[in-house]
Chain A
Amino acid sequence: MNRRDLLALAGSAALAPMLGPIRTARADAGAPRLIVVMLRGAVDGLNVVVPYNDQAYYESRPTIAIQKPGADNGAVQLDGRFGLHPALAGLMPLWNEKKLAFIHAAGSPDPNRSHFDAQQYIENGTPGRQATADGWMNRTLAALPGTRTPTDALSVGPVLPFILRGPISVANLPLGPNAAQPMAIDQPQVASAFDKLYSGTDRQSLAYRQGREARTELVADMAGDEEQKMANNGAPPANTFPAMANRLAGLMTKDPHIRLAFAALGEWDTHVNQGAHDGQLAVRLRPLGDGLAALASGLGPLWNDTVVVVISEFGRTVHENGNRGTDHGHGNVIWLAGGGVNGGKVYGDWPGLATAQLYQGRDLAVTTDYRHVLATVLKRHMHLPDATMAKIFPGMPAPKGNLGQILSA
């Protein structure tokens, strides 16, 4: 917990406890928001944004390639080189409105193909270095202007992920079947009893009060929500993203403090029977696309101030394997959506899929470091000064090209 938090809370501790969420008159209207969606398990980027003009793509994937635009169940055309997986057709309105963009052949320079190591390197912002003690989104939180409030950053999911771990407190909201489940501390009798126990100025008391404030805000934000009943009936985990996205959009609309949000989706590790236009990958892409579209509509006017980044720890092999699936690869595609995005384009430096152009002869190469994409978003959209990049992404090499055009502001 940093000094700013301590001082802020020492002041608020004097206030009568928990009169309800305090919407301070901070200039929150128009303040930029960032939502990061992490696809854990290495989604197959080559089947998400399909290089339909590369003959090598079809030669390497006899059973799992997506057919060219115009063919039955073919890719939806994005431009002269790339098409979108048909299961993501729901995103085409955003593409046509130029609020959706992709950066292909992007990712981490680290050669590691271990899921948990590579995810760690996306989350800690220091690829190749395990020892970093916090996540880059927590470091971003530290760099945002103004005093921190308990819901500045919101993580959606069961446990606080490493990407948000660090000295600044983050609100954690379990969404899904258990989300709307009341907690003991929501009961006034319980709360007032524990308030007395944790009435000091020590670290534990401060953490308690921050937890109470965050919980009070989130409960108020979720009150009367029709989704609550749906969630209680238990939606299956694989399809939770549209419900999650709806709830997140609702929360962000009601609570102007939320500036950073994070959600992770799993089950992308399609080693076996990946499928093509339908099948395992398609069935997971569909709710992802629907959820992103739901975010866009649910956020309403806030969409203009929001950028969503969808990222995965690495891509998958160009060649399909002996199990009609793909194995761990390297380069992937990063998705960008939001009001400030200069969309309708596939960015990046496409290296090609001929064997000589592949990473270690097997994977799509990485020609754009993921940190450069994030740094561009943090500087140009979140308005963080250049000097903070060295703290948020220590050791990041200088970018080769200019990614400034991915954002329209």
Chain B
Amino acid sequence: MAPRPLKILAVCCVAALALIGAAWADPPPTDAQIIHVLNRMAFGPTQADVAHVEAIGIDRYIDEQLHPDKIAESAELTTRLAGLGTLKLDPVQLFNEYGPIFPAMNGGVKPTPEEQKARRQRANIIVQQAQDARIWRALYSKRQLQEVMIDFWFNHFNIFAGKGLDHLWVGRYEADAIRPYALGHFRDLLLATAHSPAMLFYLDNQLNTAPGSPGAKGDATGINENYAREIMELHTLGVDGGYTQNDVIALAHILTGWTLNRGNLRLGGRDATWFDPARHDFTEKTFLGRTIEPSGEQEGVQAIGMLAASPATARHIAFQLAQYFVADNPPKSLVDKLAQRFQSTDGDIAAVLKTLLTSREFRDSAGQKYKTPFVYVVSAARAAGVEVNNPRPLIGTMARLGEGLYQCQTPDGYKNTEDTWLSPDATTLRIGFATALGRGNLPVKNPPPEQPAAAPAMAGPQMQQQPQLVSDQPGQPKPEQPKPQPLDPAPIEALLGPTLSDNTKTAVTEAPDNLKAALVLGSPDFMRR
């Protein structure tokens, strides 16, 4: 029983440490702690990343990752991405080069349906390259936390590549509206998505028009509430965030005229979107209890600002971050802390993440999350240390598991809870993938052929897609592939050792040599993080 003054001093020291956020400071981090941190802040451990965190400690690693612009990106990754030509085109260029054929581009002749179909097939390369880029970044980027946040925010602000023109713009949406703001201020991120052609198309705001306005014509003649509803229900306040149907209607009216710039798109102008005053409702609105004076585009900026600043938004985002990073049912203490931080920093995502990553709740949550298909296949490839020149087997496996990249049809995006992803079929498929990878049968080493045989990206809900099944058939000769070599299990076991149970270790010891790596990568331990 320590005397009172000493106790108070001890309490003050701990409090002081907590305030300066050196929550991980004391001893050098254990291997288990390092793996836990890399499982959540990155797409799982690699030997290089473990050594790095060991050298600088977890607190410095957190601060490093919260400032991605200061991290020099891997030259090898940059080279890989440079080879993806469509990534460099802006939305207008993508529309001109890969979008529908208009008579004006075709010598005044209307294209035949066969020509339009061929054009659409040719555009498949855009989604393919966006998928390749996302996999390569998740595998090899040094800015791992930024890539993790892109997974988080893309699902939060989901768009579907299979809807109409969105197949042209998914990559650009990620690059322009998500990546630059992923660790910045939430309001900037929200506004960027609201200005993006991909989102305005996906949630139909490009049709949203004041009835009877001078610009009302064609399929844009009335109010479309889709975006107004989803921006409140999904992107900001949350379904219980306290807005009414009248607020949905009001916001829809406020956002009339936020649309695609069809002139620019067709004629190669600069911006794919604009505010069209001819389609805007210039009456006064009441939104969330406030009067919105008619002024044009500023009304929408004001309304979006109100949404970003709402305490309901802070709670909603806090919950989702806590669920993504800590547990399917996150502790209320953590959610409250994050919501407070969100509000007090005016939605500074990096600041909120700092609070999260240095929290006791985060530290104590190892193994509580079941990996999503995306995290599972990427973390397996990272742990295996394989060189992935052909990302298609990983992309195909993700699709087969139900989390195809850019293929989530509904605006709420992919979930990250165990209930969503754990199933008998999923377990069998993951084991198939792990076995193929572990036995050296996954064809990731050789670059994919130049002309893919079939359109890998879904062309829309009407196409029944059969994604590439990972085949683990040692008997089938593949002329171009090198003879399959099982992976050496020793470095993988050494890397993941602290997270493997005794039962797993024993089973691996008793297994035939060519199955050991497969067992580790397909173990129940490795499916969790």
The residues of A with any CB-CB pair to B shorter than 8 Å are 40-41, 115-117, 119-120, 130-131, 150, 157-160, 167, 169-172, 174, 176-178, 181-185, 189-190, 193-194, 196-200, 202-205, 207-215, 237, 264-269, 272-273, 323
Contact = CB atoms under 8 A, between A and B. Distances in A.
A194 B464 contact: no
B228 to A, nearest CB: 15
Contacts of A205: 524
A196 B507 contact: yes
A176 B425 contact: no
Nearest to B507: A196
Contacts of B435: 184-185, 190
B487 interface: no
A130 B163 CA distance: 18
Given A115-B462, A157-B464, A203-B418, 4 more contacts: A174-B469, A176-B466, A193-B519, A266-B463
A193 B423 contact: no
Given A160-B425, A193-B511, A183 B524 contact: no
Given A181-B469, A197-B503, A40 B461 contact: yes
Contacts of A185: 428, 431-432, 435
A190 B402 contact: no
Nearest to B433: A184
Contacts of B473: 181-182
A215 B524 contact: no
B160 A208 contact: no
B459 to A, nearest CB: 10
B512 A115 contact: no
B466 A178 contact: yes
Interface in B426-451: 426-429, 431-432, 435-436
B522 A196 contact: no
A175 B505 CA distance: 36
B70 to A, nearest CB: 39
A213 B428 CA distance: 11
A207 B427 contact: yes
B481 interface: no
A207 B424 contact: yes
A177 B400 CA distance: 14
User: Most chain-B CB neighbours within 10 Å: which of A167, A183, A237?
Assistant: A183
A197 B466 contact: no
A208 B424 contact: yes
B414 to A, nearest CB: 12
Contacts of B436: 184
A183 B472 contact: yes
B329 interface: no
16 contacts: A115-B461, A116-B162, A116-B409, A158-B399, A177-B466, A178-B466, A196-B507, A203-B418, A205-B524, A207-B422, A208-B427, A208-B431, A209-B424, A212-B428, A267-B464, A269-B460
Contacts of B524: 197-198, 200, 202, 204-205, 208
A120 B410 contact: yes
B465 interface: yes
Interface in B163-178: 163
A182 B511 CA distance: 21
Contacts of B113: 272-273, 323
Contacts of A131: 239
B425 A194 contact: no
Contacts of A189: 512, 515
